[in-house]
Amino acid sequence: MKSPEVREKVSAALKASGHAPKVRGGNGQLTEPQERLLKRMGNGWVAEFAVPVPHHDSRCLPKHLKIDVAQPQLMIAIELDGQSHRSLVRRLQDARKTIYLAQNGWSVFRVTNQRAIELSSTCTSPDTLLTSLMAFSPTTAI
């Protein structure tokens, strides 16, 4: 694959066979759970809300933390965890993110993608949905 000619041949063969990268959520591409929650939660809620992290290098964090679904005025963060969040490395990253947000005034709630879809389908009002989501892994300032 070091040769440009070989890369071009492989690329052409993959395109001809209909191969395409798996579509994943994040970085501008909303996941199904995010879309469902946003639709049900109503005004004031946003997806992929970026929170700047001053001195991020010393905290082992990125420059900005993206909250999956947020209500910035109330400082409520809903983190949606799919299968990739089961690995030890990812759980440690999630823990650092949750701790940082909580220490900076955010209430953080973590819920699986599947549970978020179920709740957004069964809860009839934004208040009921939020109350149900808050039952999962609440985190307050440490």
Q: How far apart are CA 7 and CA 107, in angstroms?
A: 47
Q: How far apart are CA 49 and CA 59, in angstroms?
A: 20
For 56-65, what is each residue's pLDDT tens digit?
Answer: 777 788 899 9
What is residue 56's DSSP assignment? Answer: H
Q: Indicate if the pLDDT at residue 100 is higher than 80.
A: yes
pLDDT-wise least confident of 15-29, 32-46, 95-109, 114-128: 15-29
Please report the pLDDT score of residue 140 as a whole number.
46
Please report the pLDDT score of residue 1 as a whole number.
67
CB 79, CB 108: distance < 8 Å = yes
Please report the pLDDT score of residue 136 as a whole number.
63
How are beta strands 46-52 and 64-71 bridged, if at all? antiparallel
Band the pLDDT of 79: cuts 50, 70, 90.
very high
Domains in the chain: boundaries: 23-139
CA–chain centroid gap for 18, Å, is 29
Q: Residue 22 contacts by C-beta under 8 Å, 6 or more apart in sequence?
A: none
Please report the pLDDT score of residue 35 as a whole number.
93
Please report the pLDDT score of residue 142 as a whole number.
40
Please report the pLDDT score of residue 126 as a whole number.
86
Nearest partner of 78 among 51, 116, 40, judged by Cα: 116
Band the pLDDT of 13: cuts 50, 70, 90.
confident
Structure tokens at 40: 């049900």
Band the pLDDT of 27: cuts 50, 70, 90.
low
Q: How far apart are CA 78 and CA 63, in angstroms?
A: 20
* This prediction's pTM: 0.73
CB 133, CB 102: distance < 8 Å = no
CATH code, 23-139 = 3.40.960.10
For 118-137, what is each residue's pLDDT tens digit?
Answer: 888 888 788 888 888 777 65
Q: How far apart are CA 8 and CA 84, in angstroms?
A: 31
